[in-house]
Structure 1
Amino acid sequence: MLNALSLRRAAHFGDEGDEHQEDGSKTRKQLSIAMRVTNYLTRTGYLWPIILLAILIFVIASLFLHSRDLVCVSSISSFDRLSRTRFFGLDGLESDFGSLGVPWCRSKHGKTIEWTSKDLLQGLEEFVPIYETRPIKNNMYGMGFDHSFGLWFITRWLKPELMIESGAFKGHSTWVLRQAMPNTPIISLTPRHPSKYLMKGPAYVDHNCTYFAGKDFVDFGNVNWSTVMKKHGVTDLTRVLIFFDDHQNELKRLKQAHKAGFSHLVFEDNYDTGTGDHYSLRQICDQFYIQGGGHSCFKDSDEARQRSRRKNFWEKAVDIEGLCGPGEAWWGVKGYMRDDFNHTNKQISYTQHFENSRFVESVVDVYWEVPPVAGPSLTHQTRYDPARVSCPIVEDGRFGLFQRLGLSRLETSVFNGYTQMVYVEMSPKEM
């Protein structure tokens, strides 16, 4: 945003008559010179070319300044239809951040996050060299840079007394949590112990982590959390952070966490409507009454044409055929509530879908999707559709900042795993 600078002119007080005389003489002198120049240019025929040149210079300067200081407008910060258009150069496609709408879950009391874009930029500068030391360089099918930073930043900001993760895979997320909080205990629930992956390649096993894995695995919803909290000496559940990367129905996980009394949750794969292998919060909150929510299943609609065009450029862009199911069911994935790594699919009505969103709004105090680290022309990602995500931390065109933060040192492949990670703070459980 451009800061308006107020120019203040110092007041010089003298005799009132002298002041008016001085002002009058300056005006007459300036008008005289101006008239002489104008008359000369008119006689010589140079007046209009100079005026046109001045206008051209003004327009170019305005465009240059405007392109440097444009602020991206998303549905999270505004309810209007404004959006910022940038030309990417990457694929020749104009990308309009939020042009197809960015669905979001409304806060119960209108509460928002405490951190700012400045805090995110400072965090990026600190995290890049940390990320470069990661033990698992090729974390295929796991978190990339965007979500690794998001988890690290949120954890670092909240400073929990205990961290719980549901789904650890090779242990990269465990490593990220450990970098954020070096001495805080971790509880990891994962079907296969990360040590099993060490036989095939890099993995991470934490020595200050309690693993419920392998034959000791217990699903998050079946853990006696009261007993576990007593064992770890935790009395305040608002000081616990839970990270879900288990590809389970997020409504189910939200209810389980709320019932247990937890407040701070992070969902790694918060899939967009029409995509993903489980029912996500983003899908639940994709409603008609929210800007960016609700969809048209008419094949001749403006949305259908825009989606079809974007499908040619972005791997995760969904056209009407992929979005809508029988009876124009667009919620979830074609009207289905997916769960258990897509092993179970339950068809739900829009009425049920709407009721789910009302429940989420009744318990959620804060809903914040981690923005992409940088725009697609900088990261060269081709996966997510920029029209369906919030504005990046480092916007397109700001290569100098991208380079200064050290992001240009990273392989482009680490930026291709963004799936709208979301941080949720829930209201305390009513007794």
Structure 2
Amino acid sequence: MELLSRALLILLAMLLLLLALEWNLDWKHLGSAPGGHYCIEEKLAAAGRDSSWDFGLLGVPHCKDFIPLYESRPIKQYQRGALGLDHSFGLWFLARRLQPEIIIESGGHRGHSTWILRRAVPDARIIALGTEHPSYVHANTIYVTRDNDFGSLDWDNLLNPSIRKAKILLVFDDHQNQFKRVLQARNAGFQHLIFANNSDTGSGEAYSLRQVCDQQSTGGGHNCSIDSREAAARSQRKKSWDRAIEISEICSSKGEWWGVRGQMRDKPDRASVYITHRDHVRNHGIFDSMLQTYWELPPVASPGLSKQRSYDPARTPPPLLGDEDSVVFDAMGLSQLEPWQFGDYSQLVYVRLDG
């Protein structure tokens, strides 16, 4: 009898251990902080060794300088797809930090991002591709029609050969396949890239770098069972966050979770190409092989301060200002902004390719 009781206790302990392991495996997908080591863990060391890249040191002071500038922007009405406060600040911060001589911008919409870049680097030459009837126009900016796609242009012939490619910054907000854009940029010899609309797995109009980096080998991948802990957690979070993604949005009926239900999306012609999991893993390997830095810029403020209920904070890097920073938030004038200005965050990312 005593032996049977001991065996039952051991069996119960094993079951509890398995449940705990399942919980951790499911929750790691929601609790990861991609701004730290989400994609390529050790390759962030190049940025991490330089303390000037530390948002904890430079982010808040720069942000304080940025708010009055942001309030003076010429395009103030809400526009779907335009950069909100978080991405405007991230773009401005990075451009000021990199100080490029030339900026090539693909997808400038009505010119808000061009204005941000101009304020960050006043003397830079900006080439704006695909800007639609810009509300902001500047004399030192070259505007190129939508018929000329970044990948179809011969940049070696278009650019002055005396300009080093390392002094050129590419900004993509064109909702196109970001993996494709990385390959195009690398083939043309560019190193510094910024991507807006870096959508999470299961969402977005295009195959994003965040989707490329979502691999089981890097702590990603997803459990497509509707009975899994991950499915339950995502369903619960959907009640609080408008853009939280449920497991049914991530997985196809065949269990394809990579990209958007197994699709590698590309917006220009509404193309959705199905790829195998092997191809998805291969894409990550190619990206990894040329990558020096992958850095997702954090939101400016926590939802507790900004009152936004759009993006899910469980899937973002920690904000510059947490709930405990309400005094700083108020002092910077951020409490005077409407909540919608904080709601368009989608993991704007800086990428540096090997030279």
TM-score range, shorter chain: 0.7 to 0.9
Which position in structure 2 is the counterpart of 1:333? 260
- 4+ runs of 1 displaced by more than 4 Å? 96-99, 107-110
Quick one: structure 1 residues 303 and 107, their matched pair in 2 at CA, closer, same or farther if it must change by over 3 Å?
A: closer
Please give the root-mean-square deviation of Cα atoms over the aligned residues, in Å: 1.8
Q: 1:127 aligns with which of 47, 51, 66?
A: 66
Q: 1:208 aligns with which of 130, 133, 140?
A: 140
Identity %: 43
Higher helix share: 2
Q: 2:174 aligns with which of 238, 242, 246?
A: 246
Distance in 2 between residues matched to 1:183 and 1:380, nearest whole Å: 37
Deviation at 1:300, TM superposition (A): 1.1
Amino acid at match of 1:296: N
Deviation at 1:229, TM superposition (A): 1.5
Q: 2:158 aligns with which of 217, 228, 231?
A: 228
Q: How does 1:11-410 map to 2 (within 5 A)?
A: 99-103=30-34, 104-106=38-40, 109-113=43-47, 114=50, 115-116=53-54, 117-141=56-80, 142-190=82-130, 192-194=132-134, 203-213=135-145, 217-230=147-160, 234-291=162-219, 293-341=220-268, 343-410=270-337
Deviation at 1:101, TM superposition (A): 2.4
3-state SS in 2 of match to 1:424: strand
Distance in 1 between residues matched to 2:132 and 2:328, nearest whole Å: 40
Deviations 1:40-79 (A, max 9, x none): xxxxxxxxxxxxxxxxxxxxxxxxxxxxxxxxxxxxxxxx
* Contact 2:290–2:354 under 8 Å retained in 1: yes
Distance in 1 between residues matched to 2:292 and 2:281, nearest whole Å: 19
* Contact 1:97–1:386 under 8 Å retained in 2: no
Distance in 1 between residues matched to 2:141 and 2:28, nearest whole Å: 40
Deviations 1:184-231 (A, max 9, x none): 11001016342xxxxxxxx211211011125xx41000111012221x
Distance in 1 between residues matched to 2:162 and 2:334, nearest whole Å: 38
3-state SS in 2 of match to 1:192: coil
Quick one: structure 1 residues 406 and 112, their matched pair in 2 at CA, closer, same or farther if it must change by over 3 Å?
A: farther
Deviation at 1:108, TM superposition (A): 7.2
Distance in 1 between residues matched to 2:346 and 2:259, nearest whole Å: 15
3-state SS in 1 of match to 2:328: helix
* Contact 2:44–2:294 under 8 Å retained in 1: no
Distance in 1 between residues matched to 2:256 and 2:269, nearest whole Å: 18
* Contact 2:111–2:131 under 8 Å retained in 1: no
Deviation at 1:305, TM superposition (A): 0.6
* Contact 2:104–2:168 under 8 Å retained in 1: yes
3-state SS in 1 of match to 2:171: strand
Quick one: structure 1 residues 185 and 139, their matched pair in 2 at CA, closer, same or farther if it must change by over 3 Å?
A: farther
Question: TM-score, normalised to structure 2's length?
Answer: 0.87
Q: Which has the larger radius of gyration?
A: 1
Distance in 1 between residues matched to 2:197 and 2:30, nearest whole Å: 22
Which position in structure 2 is the counterpart of 1:90? none
Amino acid at match of 2:108: A
Deviations 1:358-383 (A, max 9, x none): 11100110000010110001111111
Distance in 2 between residues matched to 1:188 and 1:371, nearest whole Å: 26
Deviations 1:231-274 (A, max 9, x none): xx643101110100000000100000000000000001100001
* Contact 1:146–1:418 under 8 Å retained in 2: yes
Quick one: structure 1 residues 139 and 262, their matched pair in 2 at CA, closer, same or farther if it must change by over 3 Å?
A: farther
**Structure 2: segments with no counterpart, 5+ residues:** 1-23
Deviates further, 166-175 or 410-419: 410-419
Distance in 1 between residues matched to 2:315 and 2:107, nearest whole Å: 26
3-state SS in 2 of match to 1:397: helix
Distance in 2 between residues matched to 1:298 and 1:331, nearest whole Å: 15
Deviations 1:325-350 (A, max 9, x none): 13211111111011025711011111
3-state SS in 2 of match to 1:327: coil
Quick one: structure 1 residues 426 and 348, their matched pair in 2 at CA, closer, same or farther if it must change by over 3 Å?
A: same
Question: TM-score, normalised to structure 1's length?
Answer: 0.72
Which position in structure 2 is the counterpart of 1:25? none
Amino acid at match of 1:121: V
* Contact 1:278–1:339 under 8 Å retained in 2: yes
**Structure 1: segments with no counterpart, 5+ residues:** 1-80, 82-95, 195-202
Quick one: structure 1 residues 185 and 135, their matched pair in 2 at CA, closer, same or farther if it must change by over 3 Å?
A: same
Distance in 2 between residues matched to 1:315 and 1:176, nearest whole Å: 28
* Contact 2:29–2:221 under 8 Å retained in 1: no
